[in-house]
Structure 1
Amino acid sequence: MLTLRQIEVIRAIMVTGTMAGAARLLNVSQPGISRLMKYTEDSIGVRLFDRTKGRLVPTAEAKTIFNLLDSVYGKVEDLQFAIASLRKGAGTELSIASVPSIGNVMMPRAVKKLRSRFPALALDIDILKIEEALDYLLLGRGEVVALSHRVEHSVLAMEPLVSGRLLCVVPEHGPLASRTSISPEEMASHPLIGINPNDPYGRIMAAVFSNRGLDYSMTIKARFGSTVCRLVAEGLGIAIIDEFTLAHDSMPGIAALEISAETSFQTFAAYRNDRSLSVHAEQFIHLLREEMAQVAGTPSGKGHHPFAGSSRSGV
């Protein structure tokens, strides 16, 4: 039986007409080509080439074999092309989603890296609230959802991403902007803007106050963290927001302060545990974790929060 390597060498000799030409075409040594051809002819019991005027000419007995070899080689080339296309993501669509706190800044950066690895990969990206993630996965609308809160379901796997922190955001030119930290007690004395505590994302913020026995009374409620930040930038109050929403100078007009309390929370990649993840989904999770890890725990004002590089004292 001929191997694919033997087929490749025989075809190279057919194309070039010489052992030396076949060796150059395949980027191997001429003696290696000669040895493989002798072994091939001995093993199949058919002389494949005659030497005529310095060139190798197919024998009459071998012409039928060569026609079949061309067909086989063509199919091998088709297979190699198909594999190369799959590596680039051609003909494949990855459907992924995220909660807004991860999806607005972190997700696009991870997707950019994903596309550099799979340039032909089609993507369908959605932004969901935590309570919408269950239907998204169970109804097969997508493969992965990035979450800021754990969702319990027997069919879902919850793979940890990174641990994040909450920060206090204040108007950029307000009286609190020059500070580096603030306590929950101090925050409670200012007009508060935030997410409804009945929302899973809002409960993360509310816990900062409830853990201290403080009333989390908001003057303005909004559905998304980005809206909260814009309201703060307009001078309507202060708020608690996760560090991923604030990453990479994404929210102008505000300053971020450390909170002198425990504010850590765990993020997750959720997917169905009864199905294998595609290689593209696995890569997305890996790249998203990398992006988030670069932000998680970075000191305020040192590289990723909106007032990075400010000359204000105390920052």
Structure 2
Amino acid sequence: MLHLRQLEAFRAVAVAGNVTAAARQLGVSQPAVSRLISSLSKRVGFDVFMRDGGRLVPTQEARFLLGEVDRVLAGLSNIEKLVEEIHELKVGHLRITCLPGFATTHLPKVIAEFMKERPGVTMAIEPDRPERILDWIISHQYDVGISSDHLKHPALETIPLMMKSVCVLPPNHRLKDREHITPMDLDNEPFIHARRDSDYFSLVKAAFDASGARLNPLIESRQFGLACRIVAGGVGVSVVSIIDALEYVDEGLILKPFKPVVPHKLSILYPTHTPRSVITMEFIDLFLKSLEPYRIQGSASTSY
């Protein structure tokens, strides 16, 4: 079995070009480094260094090992960093980008709870449209993204979520006493809806089409919060994410279950191949827990 100390000595000599500098870097004696290199050569069955002038350089065979050794040692360094963060009470800086609706509704409460228990943490929050969120996460400008739909990209890892939707009605609407609302109940009712090119609009329209009800578009809006506020003001009806709708109950908005089920798709995003810090993982845990009451039962999410 290869030993970690052998790999460290191998990399140190490969970088320094001599045993003396490698020993100084590792904080051990020169004979100790020489013994580690010798034992490594015996273990792999070939010489790992040859002399080139006054330097030690990896042999052709050893060059194939060097890249993998770098990755192994980098992985160990990441583990050590995580351990250090745990011992330092999770200090650090967390960068979050999210949909504008989340920035003004559900997310602030989650962030407040998160920050109260972590006085050493600082945070940056940037709301924007899904296209920008995607670009920022792919380019590693942010640690966590909260976006609409279920996005896929080779540079992304995602946790897909299926959130509940509700029908929202203005105060004293004719349907206020119904147990639940169907598309036929809203036949030709002035409707405030999501963008026509969104998956969510397609799902809502499909529900109307399947029941034979007429969808009567009145206002198109990217944000559920705007739709809720307009409906609460007495204009039109809508079907929106329950998380957004709950923010406007005090303004007189009436919430009713909508059948059939129309899921609002969300994704938690983070960059592929980038080690996640303790505070990033803890924030994702807390955020997922906060969403549990609003998720469609039986919908699965991908564990990170």
Pick the TM interval, shorter chain: 0.5 to 0.7
Aligned-pair RMSD on alpha carbons? 2.5
2:167 paired with 1:168? yes
Cα distance in 1 for residues equivalent to 2:128 and 2:199: 12
TM-aligned CA distance change 1:192 to 1:118, over 3 Å: same
Identity of aligned residues (%): 20
2:135 paired with 1:135? yes
Cα distance in 1 for residues equivalent to 2:85 and 2:164: 42
Contact 1:158 1:269 in 2 (8 A): yes
Deviation at 1:212, TM superposition (A): 4.0
Cα distance in 1 for residues equivalent to 2:210 and 2:227: 22
Over residues 38-87 of structure 1, what are the superposed CA-to-partner deviations in whole Å (9 max), with x where a residue is unaligned?
xxxxxxxxxxxxxxxxxxxxxxxxxxxxxxxxxxxxxxxxxxxx968842
Cα distance in 2 for residues equivalent to 1:129 and 1:202: 16
Instruction: Report the equivalent of 1:109.
Output: 109
TM-aligned CA distance change 1:204 to 1:95, over 3 Å: farther
Deviation at 1:223, TM superposition (A): 2.3
TM-score by length of 1: 0.61
Instruction: Report the equivalent of 1:121.
Output: 121
Q: Secondary structure at the match of 1:274?
A: coil
2:238 paired with 1:244? no
2:193 paired with 1:194? yes
Instruction: Report the equivalent of 1:156.
Output: 156
Single out whichever of 227-236 and 251-260 deviates more from structure 2.
251-260
Contact 2:232 2:248 in 1 (8 A): no
Cα distance in 2 for residues equivalent to 1:158 and 1:144: 10
Q: Point out where structure 1 has 5 or more consecutive residues left out of the alignment.
A: 1-81, 299-315
Residue-pair matches, total: 214
Deviation at 1:251, TM superposition (A): 5.9
Contact 1:102 1:147 in 2 (8 A): no
Q: Which protein is bigger by CA-based radius of gyration?
A: 1
TM-aligned CA distance change 1:100 to 1:244, over 3 Å: farther
Quick one: which amino acid aligns to residue 258 of structure 1? P
Contact 1:109 1:291 in 2 (8 A): no
The aligned runs of 1:30-45 (5 Å cut-off) are: none
Quick one: which amino acid aligns to residue 191 of structure 1? P
TM-aligned CA distance change 1:177 to 1:93, over 3 Å: same
TM-score by length of 2: 0.63
Single out whichever of 221-230 and 211-220 deviates more from structure 2.
211-220
